[in-house]
């Protein structure tokens, strides 16, 4: 059984009298351990797809199964649980809490997983040192560089040991030192068996994956291996 | 998410916005402190009233007071002689449940020593020997007025402590007994001197040399009194002022009786009422006023004071609650992105709801705490202003009540912001700048 299974998935937004079909009958299967890139220009529907896959939203019609959970008509609590346990999300804008230090930022998902505070701290510290930030635990995001923030975001996404890692435009320039390091990190995660889904507009970043899915006008138009 | 985490998040949020939080707490602080202060104040008045009542006479006393006769009897009202000595005598003879009867007439007149000197203007009262018991007098030196004094209409007088000290400064009471004074230029013999009546507080202050002269003194009247036999008062002093009155028909100023046994209080009142019905020829121009009535009246005015104070406090608590709600709403729109992030990593809507609600409760509780501290200061200030016998009393239940109100204000004012925060859409929130 596939880790992610989408069938006839549509998302329709209503703006006044107008219907905007952001996703139109999308079918997609992603197996455990895959390294996939979803590529598309702005307005193609890739963000909508990513929000659905990330359980931040529910589809208008169609089937959506993630990690064995039928989420097409799931309640908010159910979506929250899947977001918390099964999915790690690395946002384009990092989305760290500026008032919290590195450890607390990384430990955030564990709070909502009900992990006791001592264990939270230990796991957050380990996740921080896994991404090479073991010496930055007490710093707060404004004191970190962009690359460091990105690594905090990755550590936070991984701390609850999710089965799928989503990354939305994980790096700007894939040839910069930071970009290379981030992409290497994804390679390593893939190698360790984690399912990785990159969402990007940049074909050179998508080329790092094993399978590229191209989206245009709310439909999957092309699928290829780089 | 457990409570501890929510509390620590809330505390951090409060610490991060100290000024804003302080402003939003202000209403709660004022509400709580004024609530506690009001309760302490009214409690103080209650205590003071109780002590005053105890010292002015117990529940056994009943005053017979004038009343407008009912309209049905209005035309016969002239038939009634009003409250006279005949009432007192009739009650004394026939009312078996009444132990003491004290009719009283008075005259404000000049009192001086027989050696000349400046006379003091004093209230001179003509009383029965029963007055000693009814007015709860003690005697410092000499004796009180007797039935013989009354019968003979002797020119003897018992003087209050202040009167004695003014007329004979520095002379101890036993040496004053036997001296002669001039009341309205007629010589009287002082047969007794009353002790100095004072509140415990005044006694303490006097012993330690402090002055409490500013305070209202419930015993002033008792200390400044000059008592003479009722008959003497009538024949020697009053008859000149009211030549048409006879001893029997003269209207009394006060008529007070004492019930012998509180177990027979109601029957005693019935007896008195029946006797007076006869002597007043069926005209209901009198009323019996018990000390319980006084108590009830004072209690109801205390209750009114407490209610109005409570109302003001309640209003400021409501205002405080609105303040908190306002700040919480502002804080939420500041934190849309944070809420979005928390939702994205797996917070449920109810986690966000509780986080905001608990923060609101924390703010109000903190405000309540500060309000308690403020009320302590406020009560100290009130202590210096309020009369000693009404000194504010802080009670634990008033603190509990105030904290309860603060808690309720925080809870109620947090509900709407919490509900609003918890329904934020994570996608919109994450895009929010």
Tell me: do B190 and B266 sit in the same domain: yes
What is the average pLDDT across A30-35? 92
Q: Which long-range contacts (CB under 8 A, 24 or more apart) does B22-26 make?
A: B23/B323, B23/B327, B24/B320, B24/B323, B24/B324, B24/B326, B24/B327, B24/B328, B24/B363, B24/B367, B25/B320, B25/B323, B25/B324, B25/B363, B25/B364, B25/B366, B25/B367, B25/B370, B26/B320, B26/B323, B26/B367
Which of B244, B261, B284 terminates a domain? The answer is: B284
Nearest to B193 by CA among B162, B155, B232, B149: B162
Degrees (nearest 5) of the Cα angle A93, B341, A12? 85
Q: CB-CB: which of A57, A113, A117 is closest to B427?
A: A57
Q: Do A89 and B345 touch (CB under 8 A)?
A: yes
Q: CB-CB: which of B338, B341, B346 is closest to A84?
A: B346
Total domains in the fold of chain B: 2
Residue B63 in domain? no
Residue B388 in domain? yes
- Parallel/antiparallel/unpaired status of strands A164-168 and A69-70: unpaired
Longest dimension (CA), chain A: 55
pLDDT tens column, B158-201: 999 988 888 888 889 899 899 889 888 889 999 999 998 877 76
Tell me: do B36 and B106 sit in the same domain: no
Q: Which sign does the torsion angle of CA A21, A27, A31, A37 carry? A: negative
Tell me: do B389 and B319 sit in the same domain: yes
Tell me: do B389 and B242 sit in the same domain: no
pLDDT tens column, B204-234: 777 776 665 545 566 788 888 999 999 998 8
Q: CB-CB: which of B16, B338, B348 is closest to A76?
A: B348
Q: Token digits for B389?
A: 């016998």
Contact A172, A179 (CB under 8 A): yes
Dihedral through CA A188, CA A197, CA A57, CA A171, nearest 10? 80
Taking CB atoms and an 8 Å cutoff, what residues of chain B touch A93? 430
Which of B284, B315, B336 terminates a domain? The answer is: B284
Tell me: do B330 and B392 sit in the same domain: yes
Q: Do A112 and B12 touch (CB under 8 A)?
A: no
Tell me: do B239 and B100 sit in the same domain: yes
Q: What is the mean pLDDT of chain B?
A: 85
For tokens 């003014």, what's the residue? B166
| CA A35 – CA B102 distance, rounded (Å) | 108
**Residue B380 reports pLDDT greater than 70:** yes
- Identify the burial level of A68 via C-beta atoms within 10 angstroms of its C-beta, where 0-12 means exposed, 13-18 middle and 19 or more buried: exposed
pLDDT tens column, A81-108: 999 999 998 888 888 998 889 999 999 9
Tell me: do B160 and B182 sit in the same domain: yes
Tell me: do B365 and B392 sit in the same domain: yes
Q: Do B345 and A83 touch (CB under 8 A)?
A: yes
Taking CB atoms and an 8 Å cutoff, what residues of chain A touch B342? 108, 112
Cα B81 to the chain's mean position, in Å?
Answer: 36
**Residue A171 reports pLDDT greater than 80:** no
Residue B273 in domain? yes
What percentage of chain B has pLDDT greater than the value 70? 93
What Rg, from alpha-carbon coordinates, does chain B have?
A: 33
Tell me: do B146 and B256 sit in the same domain: yes
Tell me: do B138 and B177 sit in the same domain: yes
Q: Which domain holds residue B193?
A: 68-284
Tell me: do B87 and B164 sit in the same domain: yes
Q: CB-CB: which of B4, B350, B430 is closest to A91?
A: B430
**Residue B239 reports pLDDT greater than 80:** no
Residue B290 in domain? no
Which of B239, B259, B284 terminates a domain? The answer is: B284
Tell me: do B185 and B305 sit in the same domain: no
| CA A224 – CA A212 distance, rounded (Å) | 5
Which domains, from first to last, does chain A contain?
A: 33-61+73-224 (3.40.50.300)
Which residues contact residue B201 at a Cβ distance below 8 angstroms, ignoring those fewer than 6 apart?
B212, B388, B389
ipTM (interface predicted TM): 0.93
Q: How many A-B residue pairs are in contact by the CB < 8 A criterion?
A: 65
Question: What's the confidence (pLDDT) of residue A213?
Answer: 93
- Lowest-confidence range among B77-86, B206-215, B346-355? B206-215
Q: H or E segment at B158?
A: strand B156-159
Residue B60 in domain? no
């Amino acid at each position: 059984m596939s880790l992610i299974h989408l069938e006839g998935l549509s998302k329709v937004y209503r703006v006044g009298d107008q219907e905007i079909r952001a996703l139109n009958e999308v079918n997609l299967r992603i197996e455990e351990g895959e390294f996939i890139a979803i590529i598309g220009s702005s307005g193609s529907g890739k963000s909508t797809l990513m929000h659905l896959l990330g359980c931040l939203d529910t589809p208008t019609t169609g089937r959506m199964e993630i990690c064995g959970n039928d989420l097409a008509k799931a309640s908010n609590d159910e979506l929250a649980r899947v977001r918390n346990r099964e999915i790690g999300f690395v946002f384009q804008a990092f989305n760290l809490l500026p008032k919290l230090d590195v450890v607390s930022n990384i430990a955030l998902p564990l709070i909502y997983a009900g992990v006791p505070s001592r264990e939270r701290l230990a796991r957050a510290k380990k996740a921080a040192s896994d991404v090479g930030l073991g010496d930055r635990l007490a710093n707060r995001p404004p004191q970190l560089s962009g690359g460091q923030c990105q690594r905090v975001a990755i550590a936070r996404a991984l701390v609850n040991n999710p089965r799928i890692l989503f990354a939305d435009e994980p790096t700007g320039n894939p040839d910069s030192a930071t970009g290379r390091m981030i992409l290497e990190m994804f390679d390593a995660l893939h190698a360790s068996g984690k399912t990785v889904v990159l969402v990007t507009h940049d074909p050179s970043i998508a080329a790092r994956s094993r399978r590229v899915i191209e989206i245009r006008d709310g439909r999957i138009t092309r699928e290829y291996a780089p | 998410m457990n409570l501890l985490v929510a509390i620590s998040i809330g505390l951090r949020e409060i610490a991060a916005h100290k000024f804003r939080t302080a402003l939003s707490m202000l209403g709660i602080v004022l509400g709580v402190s004024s609530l506690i202060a009001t309760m302490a104040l009214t409690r103080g008045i209650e205590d003071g009233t109780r002590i005053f009542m105890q010292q002015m006479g117990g529940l056994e006393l009943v005053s017979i007071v004038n009343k407008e006769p009912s309209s049905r009897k209005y035309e016969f009202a002239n038939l009634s002689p009003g409250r006279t000595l005949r009432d007192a005598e009739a009650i004394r003879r026939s009312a078996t449940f009444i132990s003491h009867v004290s009719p009283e007439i008075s005259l404000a007149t000049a009192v001086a020593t027989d050696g000349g000197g400046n006379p003091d203007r004093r209230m001179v009262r003509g009383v029965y020997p029963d007055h000693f018991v009814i007015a709860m007098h003690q005697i410092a030196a000499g004796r009180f007025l007797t039935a013989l004094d009354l019968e003979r209409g002797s020119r003897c007088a018992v003087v209050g402590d202040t009167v004695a000290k003014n007329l004979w400064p520095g002379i101890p009471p036993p040496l004053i007994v036997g001296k002669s004074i001039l009341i309205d230029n007629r010589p009287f013999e002082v047969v007794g001197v009353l002790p100095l009546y004072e509140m415990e507080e005044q006694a303490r202050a006097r012993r330690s040399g402090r002055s409490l002269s500013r305070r209202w003194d419930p015993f002033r009247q008792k200390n400044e009194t000059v008592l003479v036999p009722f008959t003497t008062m009538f024949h020697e002093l009053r008859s000149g002022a009211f030549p048409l009155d006879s001893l029997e028909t003269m209207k009394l100023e006060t008529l007070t009786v004492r019930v012998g046994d509180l177990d027979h209080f109601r029957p005693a009142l019935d007896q008195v009422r029946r006797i007076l019905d006869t002597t007043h020829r069926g005209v209901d121009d009198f009323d019996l006023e018990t000390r319980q009535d006084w108590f009830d009246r004072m209690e109801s005015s205390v209750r009114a004071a407490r209610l109005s104070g409570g109302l003001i406090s309640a209003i400021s608590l409501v205002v405080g609650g609105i303040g908190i709600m306002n700040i919480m709403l502002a804080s939420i729109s500041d934190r849309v992105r944070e809420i979005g992030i928390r939702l994205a990593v797996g917070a449920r809507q109810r986690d966000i709801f509780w986080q905001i609600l608990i923060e609101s409760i924390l703010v109000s509780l903190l405000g309540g705490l500060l309000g308690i501290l403020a009320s302590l200061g406020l009560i100290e200030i009130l202590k210096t202003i309020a009369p000693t016998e009404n000194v504010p009393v802080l009670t634990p239940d008033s603190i509990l009540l105030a904290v309860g109100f603060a808690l309720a204000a925080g809870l109620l004012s947090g509900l709407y912001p919490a509900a609003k925060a918890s329904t934020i859409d994570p996608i919109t929130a994450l895009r929010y700048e």
